[in-house]
Every structure is written in structure tokens, then in C-alpha cells.
Amino acid sequence: MANQDYNVIQLLEMGACTNCTVCADVCPAVAASLDGELSAIFRMKGLNQILKGRSGLFRRLFGKKGPAEDQLKHFSDTVFRCTLCGNCQEVCPVGIHLKDLWLSLRQDLVHSESYPKKIDMIRENLEESRNVFAEDNEERAEWVEDMRDAPDHGYLKNRAEVVYFTGCVAAYFPLAQKIPIALAEIFDAGEVGFTLLGEEEWCCGFPMLGAGLKDMLQEFMDHNIEAVREKGANEVVLACPSCFQMWREYYPHEFQITHASQYLMRLVKENRIPFKELPMTVTYHDPCDLGRGARVFDEPREVIRSIPGVKFVELPKDRENCQCCGGGGNLEMIDAKLSAEIAKRKIEEVMSTGAEAVVTSCQQCVRTMMTYVRRNKVPLEVLDITQLIHKALKR
């Protein structure tokens, strides 16, 4: 084995850790599990040991060997029990790019054939179905059939200036399908000419990065780019922060990439959304990939504040310090119990504000928080920002 999964900067950054433990203090997995081995500082120590054990120089000078198979398996289990929320990176006093490092580490563990078996399932689903859930990809746009007044074309147009890239979660999970329905009806109200890609939309690639399967990414990116080109579009709108981050950071910059909250803010400023009074108190949960990842903090809040009658209160930990909901990093597939425990802590924080509803801008956050709320009969509404606007639409 070699260390080719890491770039030069990452190899240098690994020696910069000061063992200050600030990362452990903000880690949602550590807080929910009370297991310090899930912290960034433990992961960094383990990673350094692995890399030193592989080095021919270290072996010659100190007789070091790589970790035993059982040790590597245990370390791998801790690495994949992480939401990739990026809060450790946010607080790191020396500025180590920890989230990118964890992605490289997962790829390294896959190449080293030391990873949770669920990763094989993710790989097979993507190879066979072009989505992470092994659903029929021809059914990606079937949520349109549940709309009140679905157009005959089903938003599958040959040409359009805007492509709405739905994402796997919103396309297939009933809990999240209300989000694309709400956004499509808002777009109709605002006279936005858009199209879906339908079965030509493949997974954006984010689950591949989180699973250490970056080697699969290029084929999916090439396909999605060509699908947008064929529509003649110049802008791609995405309601999923992970899809949004993938298109911003990994795809070629051929199109304007806009998160749904940003596009909605545009429509609000242009007075293209007719609002009615909506008397309710809401708080806002910053999705990790949209907030810490893309630094989109203001637009969702401006949209919420623009709705007449809505009272907005902030969470105790908001913006770049917002606590993860537990739904990221493929954690739900790897350790559903830990994911639910992180969601519990999130909902407890939300309830402390006295809000009637928690609003977010992420279909996975909606699914994770709503699943916990329903299972535990918590008196709280969980809404995507598109759903909140949809409730306030004057019809």
C-alpha cells in the first residue's frame, strides 16, 4: 500500500495537529455516543500511525510495521461513523482541512480493503441503478404525478433555461418528495421556465465521496453535464446541499449553479411570489453542506423573514456553529442508531427555542429530523424552506 490517496498539502497538514481536542468538543458523533474514538483527534493519530507504518524510511529506522488487520478494521469502523459535518474543520485553530482529509482517508481504507460492508451495497446500487437507493432510475420524476395540477409534459421538456436537479433523496423518499412538489409549484407561481432531467439524472456523486468511492465519480459527472447540455440550460438549481456542493466544487464550471434558497430569494426580491399571512414561529437549521460547506447563511433567513406573519427565532447554535442533524456522511447506512441519537440532540435544541417548526434547506435534514419527530411523537413541524414558502403561497 502507498499514500497516493492524499495530496502533498494533506500529508503536510497531518503533522500540524496540536492535539488541542477542540475538534472533539464540537463533534456530534462524540457528543451523542460519548465515544472519544470517533473524534478527529483520535482519527488523526490513527492516520499518522498508518502512514508512518507504510513508510520505508520509518520501517528501516524504527522497525515499524503497519497496523494489524483487527486494528485497521476497528479504526475503519470509527472513520465511517462520522457525518462529515465539517465542524471539526470549522474550529481547528491551525486550519487543517479536515473534511477533505476524511474523504481521502475513506478512499484510502476502501483501496486497503478495510471498510464497512455497507460500502459494497452503496457501490452496487450506484453501478446498477445510478442512484444510492437501488430504485428504478426511470422513476426519478414520478413525484410529479402526486402534484395537484401536474402539467401534461411532467416538467420533462426538450429545452429550458433552468434545470432543476432533484437529487436522490427527494426523488425517492416519500418524506422528502413534498420538497420537489413544493418547489415546482412555486416555480409555476413565479413563472420560472424549468425542466427536470428525469431518468437522465444520475446521482450527483456525493455518496461516492462519503463512501470512499471517488474512483466512480467521473462517469456520473460526465453523464449529468451532458444531460444538462442537451437541455440547452444555462443554470442548474439544486435543493439538496450535497448535490449543490458537488456541482460547485467538483463539476466543471460550465453552468450557473444555484441552491434553491438562493433562487427563491431572487424570486422574492423580484416580487414574483405572492404571499399570504402565515402566523407561526419558526427556527432555522443550517445544513452542514450549505452552511459550513458553501457559506450560504443569509439567503434562507432573508426568505423566511420576507413571509408576512412568520416570527423567526435563531437556534442557540446557528450558522457556522450549527449542530448536525445526524443525516450526513452515509452515517444512517453505517450506524442508524448513532444517526438517530444525533438527531435527538438536534431536536432537543430546536424545542428549547419554543418554535412551532424547524425549517431547513436540505431534503436529508428534513428526512432525518422528521423521522425522529414522528417516531417519538414530538410536537414539532419539520419543513424544508420550499415547503414553508408553499404554505404561504397566495393561491
Tens digits of residue pLDDT in 348-382: 999 999 999 999 999 999 999 999 999 999 999 99
pLDDT confidence of residue 72? 84
DSSP 317-380: S-GGGPPP-S--TTHHHH-HHHHHHHHHHHHHHHHTTT-SEEEES-HHHHHHHHHHHHHTT-S-
Res. 51 pLDDT band, cuts 50 70 90: confident
3-state secondary structure of 210: helix
pLDDT confidence of residue 108? 93
Whether 119-266 and 8-115 are alike in CATH topology: the answer is no
Residue 341 CA, chain-centre distance (Å), reads 18
Fold of the 119-266 domain: Rossmann fold (3.40.50)
And the C-alpha cell for 295?
457559506
And the C-alpha cell for 241?
446541499
Q: Which residues contact 38 (CB under 8 A, 6 or more apart)?
A: 27, 29, 30, 78, 81, 82
Res. 125 pLDDT band, cuts 50 70 90: very high
Architecture of domain 8-115: Orthogonal Bundle (1.10)
Domain boundaries, the chain: 8-115, 119-266, 274-392
Q: Calculate the alpha carbon distances from 332 to 164, 335, 336, 342, 367 in Å.
A: 26, 5, 4, 11, 11
Under 8 Å between Cβ of 131 and 202:
yes
And the C-alpha cell for 81?
461513523
pLDDT confidence of residue 49? 84
pLDDT confidence of residue 58? 41
pLDDT confidence of residue 59? 52
Q: Which residues contact 73 (CB under 8 A, 6 or more apart)?
A: 114
- Average pLDDT in the 133-148 region? 95
Q: What are phi and psi of 333, to 5 degrees?
A: -75, -35
CA distance 98 to 104: 10
Q: Calculate the alpha carbon distances from 56 to 60, 63, 65, 258, 319 in Å.
A: 6, 9, 10, 47, 45
3-state secondary structure of 301: helix
Q: Using one digit for the tens of pLDDT, what is the confidence trace for 185-230?
A: 999 999 999 999 999 999 999 999 999 999 999 999 999 999 999 9
Q: Using one digit for the tens of pLDDT, what is the confidence trace for 260-309?
A: 999 999 999 999 999 999 999 999 999 999 999 999 999 999 999 999 99
DSSP 148-208: TT--TTTT--S--SEEEE--HHHHH-HHHHHHHHHHHHHHHHTT--EE--GGG----SHHH
Under 8 Å between Cβ of 359 and 383:
yes
pLDDT confidence of residue 2? 57
In angstroms, how far apart are the furthest CA atoms of the chain?
Answer: 76
Q: Report domain 274-392's class.
A: alpha beta
User: What is the average pLDDT score of the chain?
Assistant: 93
